[in-house]
Amino acid sequence: MERVALAFSGGLDTTVCVGLLEEEYGYDEVVGVTVDVGQPDEEFEEAEETADALGVEQYVVDAREEFATLCLDSLKANATYQGYPLGTALARPVIANAILETAKEHDCDAVAHGCTGKGNDQLRFEAVWRDSELDVIAPVRELELTREWEMEYAEERGLPVESGNEGDWSIDTNLWSRSVEGAKLEDPGYVPPEEIYEWTDAPGEAGEADLVEIEFEDGEPVAVDGEEYGPVELIEYLNDLAGAYGVGRTDMMEDRMLGLKVRENYEHPAATVLLNAHESLEGLVLTQEERDFKTQVDQQWSNKAYQGLIDAPLVGALEGFIDETQSRVTGTVTVKLEGGSARPVGRESEYAAYSEDAASFNTETVEGQNITQKDATGVAKYHGFQGRLANKVIDAQDKKTLATDGSGDGDE
């Protein structure tokens, strides 16, 4: 008996895949694996009901703690892609590993997913799976199925599926972010209705502004307003708190790995608060040179994470530098939640690379440094010296050229 472990959500794609894996690929048994990375309870209920209706043996793996820890670790690299926090990208390797382990535990011969051939997730799943000896099956991609074909297939067989919010949108939810795409949202000019949002209230509808204090240790958030939380609880708390102020909405054109440009809508309240707070604290404790270089390192780390390649050797090397910088990113940041924004308005750290005495306009000398305001005169004289010198040389050569070719004598 040949068995295949399918990444199973109970949605349209994976439900259709069950029949196709049996009919088109000849597998005797399909094992559904649903991985919990923070989806709503109703999604698990839907997956269970669908699995029962299809006669599929289903396993649910709780990976929330692992995923939440990865999300908080990603703060050290200020992980974003084209301006939005990485959520789905970070979740996929966690899900893929859980499915692979389940497949091995239950003696499966293959693993399968319901991704299309146009998205990123096929690559993220398979980057993990192709390091195993199991076959990798992608029915939707390999059979070149369209969503319309799948819906007709499901209707003909009476399969209990929906394709999102009453069939209108394609939605992916985890602890760190919620993405909404498809249908009318595929038109870049379409203004999305308020109904697509669930985590965030409309900006401006919240009451008075609120201040929240985030405490960091070695670059990771450990407490909110003085109360310590575990990774999952911290993210959930801030999602609720910041979401009420409309914080964390992104509507963008995203460049996928295959070169396609797609319209995406995201919600990420907790991620927005934590990323803004973390970067603000780095601004207090890191030197200018560290910050400038770390921007490049962060971008490389984020790009690999977006690709689902967080286990790549390059990532480990980048994390060596990142971890060294984070040893001083300890302190507190006060964030103001108001009208859809999460704005750092205060920060403190015992590692602050800052001297109030040196920066103040009311002091004449820098204590302990034997530096006075007058000492800046020499710096000011040399500042821009090379550029001024170069401009003089260029002007002199231009005048010399004009005099030589006679173009400045006024004759036609």
Retrieve residue 60's tokens.
Answer: 């649910």
Retrieve residue 390's tokens.
Answer: 């170069």
Residues shown for the chain: 412
Is residue 114 within 8 Å of residue 104, measured between CB atoms? no
CA 200 to chain centre: 17
SS3 state of residue 301: helix
Q: Which of 254, 256, 7, 257 lies closest to 128, judged by CA?
A: 7
- Where in the sequence numbering do the catalytic residues fall? 13, 92, 121, 170
Dist CA 262 CA 264 (whole Å): 6
Dist CA 218 CA 241 (whole Å): 24
Give bridge partners of residue 252 from the DSSP assignment: 264
Could you identify the residue written with the tokens 């914080």? 247
Name the CA radius of gyration of the chain, rounded.
27
Dist CA 279 CA 403 (whole Å): 56
Retrieve residue 275's tokens.
Answer: 């990323």
Is residue 256 within 8 Å of residue 248, measured between CB atoms? no
